Amino acid sequence: MITYIDKIGRLLTSNIQYLIRVLLMIYLSIRATILDQHQGLRTIFGVVSAQIYFTGWQAMPLISVLALASGSITILQSSAELSLLGGSEMIGNLLVVIMVREIGPLLTALVVVGRSGSAVATEVGNMRANREIEALESIGINPLSFIVFPRIIGGVISVICLCFYFVVIALIGGFFLTRIIDEMPLNFYLDSLIQALTREDFFLFLIKTGFSGTIIFSISCYQGLEVKRSHHEVPQVTTKAVVDSIIVVTLFNMSVTVLFYLEQLMMLESV
Amino acid sequence: MSAQVKSLHFEKLTFHYEGQEPLLKNVDFEFPVSKKEAQDNATVCRMPYKSGAASSQVVVIRSAQGAGSSTVMQILAGLLTPTLGSYLINGVPVENMSFEEFLPFRLRMGYGFDTGGLLSNRTLFENLVLPLNYHKICSPQDAERRVLALMERFQLIDFKDLRIAYVSASLRKMTVFIRSIIMDPEILFLDDPNIRISKEAQQMYAELLRELINHGSLHTIFLASFDESFFSYFDYTTIYLEEKQLFNSESNCRKTITISQ
């Protein structure tokens, strides 16, 4: 029993330590960027735009396919089931809850973890092994402001934009794809969607995508910097970055949803 | 606090890599550092340099293979932090300094890595021009002129637009050397300067160092190497790293240093 408690204790402590270290890295990278008088906006913008290009722009074909598939399937299933129940006008509410609040942010984050989180962890890990990080320090460039900060910012912007693109393609593209089978009128569908969208949806969307981007790119940079000296550590940290990002992003999305619905329930009870 | 490096001192310093035996244990040592009037930034990008007094020092750190001479250099350059004890620059412990507090000293130091140390997603030219442009040492045009002149001198100009993966190890090493002096440092650390580099290139680099000593800000060079071929270009003082301690050399290579012309 005591051994079991010990194990849980160790697991908790190591996870808390891990979280604190990642948060510390984020803080130090922001601090370094503010204090670094030499690093102009142009330097930061260069890395941020490159990150947006690789993470956002290059992921669009994959996101398009996923969005079209998941959008059309959800629309088709929802309209069929709601027609049976006589609640076709609720399709907008259902799709907004599923796509905007849940599937969109989560699926986009998972795609970004697989494509870009792994790439960033590998890139930073290789930089560490090739002594590029040391080289930057030796010429007076802080790697936290030069490498970490722009990647996190670029990653956050990319995840938000990519998720917005996902939602639009899933809801609009998915609808046109389902018209081959289903004969739902476009006006009816759009009206239902617009009426269903609320401020809470935008709030949840931004919270989920913004924090998912921060989580993915912070963990990936942190794991990359964890490489000590050897190239053989790079695949290990990459795997760890991907696994940790998936776990944390999923838990985060789940927690936000649970907290949101708990609050809704409490509000309903008070009424 | 003046940024000019006047003294480098290890105080009860211990260092070990994670999970390994200490390479340095409880070391107390004062490193020899020459003093010379610092140049202003604008002079860095001009060639030839303004003339200055040539009272300079070349210090060779020698140890058995794997015993830690490169580690001593990295600690001196602020790239590694002591495990225990202190590394003091001008009497101030470096381990308590933030990156920003150490920066004024860092900008007066150059570091030539033994292996690696170039940014792989940049060309040779971009690697060399980065520190000058980043720290706005001089105008981008002057920075470009200075880098191109040095690349021309070391016959790197044909490869200037290639990334480091596309050039030979000797060209990479030469680029690392040039970058180490690109900001006209006062103190230069050269880790294994003679590996992966031809005799002719070594000689050219030694010539450049002499010019920097005579006409630039450079006043102290620390070298770590087993091979005497590079430091034989200079008169030098030797520091030995033996049994995890640093000792001043009592051998006959120790002289009152003036750089041989």
The CATH number of B35-79+103-248, from 3.90.220.20, 3.30.1360.30, 3.40.50.720, 3.40.50.300, is 3.40.50.300
ipTM: 0.85
pLDDT tens track for A36-61: 877 677 778 888 999 899 999 999 99
pLDDT at B257 over 80: no
Query: What digits encode the pLDDT tens for the residues A87-98?
Result: 788 889 999 999
Residue B70 has pLDDT above 60, yes or no: yes
Q: How confident is the model at residue B201 (pLDDT cuts 50, 70, 90)?
A: confident
Domain-wise residue ranges, chain B: 35-79+103-248
What is chain A written as a DSSP string?
Answer: -HHHHHHHHHHHHHHHHHHHHHHHHHHHHHHHHHH-SSS-HHHHHHHHHHHHHHHTGGGHHHHHHHHHHHHHHHHHHHHHHHHHHT-GGGHHHHHIIIIIIIIHHHHHHHHHIIIIIHHHHHHHHHHHHTTHHHHHHHTT--HIIIIIHHHHHHHHHHHHHHHHHHHHIIIIIHHHHHTTT----HHHHHHHHHHH--HHHHHHHHHHHHHHHHHHHHHHHHHHHT--S-TTHHHHHHHHHHHHHHHHHHHHHHHHHHHHHHHHHHHHHH-
CB contact under 8 A, A131 and B109: no
- Count up the domains in chain A and report the number: 1
| Chain A, chain B: beta-carbon pairs less than 8 Å apart | 65
Out of A201-215, B27-41, B207-221, give the one with best mean pLDDT: A201-215
Q: Which residues of A touch B107 (CB under 8 A)?
A: 140
Mutate which of B41, B99, B128 to test chain A, going by most A C-beta atoms within 10 A? B99
Task: Kindly report the pTM of this predicted structure.
Answer: 0.87
Of A132, A140, A142, nearest to B131 by CB-CB distance is A140
pLDDT in tens, B52-66: 444 678 888 888 888
Q: Looking at the predicted structure, is the pLDDT value of residue B46 above 70?
A: no
| Distance (Å, whole) CA B192 – CA A164 | 53
Q: What is the pLDDT of residue B36?
A: 61
Per residue in B139-185, pLDDT (tens digit) is 999 999 999 999 999 999 999 999 999 999 999 999 999 999 999 89
Say what the pLDDT of residue A137 is.
94
Confidence at residue A203, expressed as pLDDT on a 0 to 100 scale: 92
Which residues from chain B sit within 8 angstroms of residue A43, using beta carbons?
134
Considering chain B, what percentage of its residues have pLDDT values greater than 90? 41
Task: Give the pLDDT confidence score for residue A57 in this predicted structure.
Answer: 92
Label residue B20 by pLDDT band (50, 70, 90): confident
The whole-angstrom distance between residue B207's C-alpha and the CA centroid of its chain comes to 15
List, for chain A, all residue ranges whose pLDDT scores fall below the cut of 50. none
Quick count: other Cβ atoms within 10 Å of Cβ A19? 11
**In Å, how far is B49's CA from the nearest CA of chain A?**
21
Domain assignment of residue A38, given as a range: 2-270
Using an 8 Å CB-CB cutoff, list residues of chain B that contact chain A. 18, 74, 77-79, 99-100, 103, 106-107, 109-111, 113, 115-120, 130-131, 134-136, 179, 183
Q: Is the pLDDT of residue B43 over 80?
A: no
pLDDT at B190 over 80: yes
Using a CB–CB cut-off of 8 Å, the residues of A that contact B are 32, 35-36, 38-39, 43, 126-127, 130-132, 134-142, 144, 228
Shortest Cα–Cα distance, B179 to chain A (Å): 9
In this predicted structure, the answer to whether residue B196 has a pLDDT above a threshold of 50 is yes
Chain A residues whose CB is inside 8 A of the B103 CB are 140
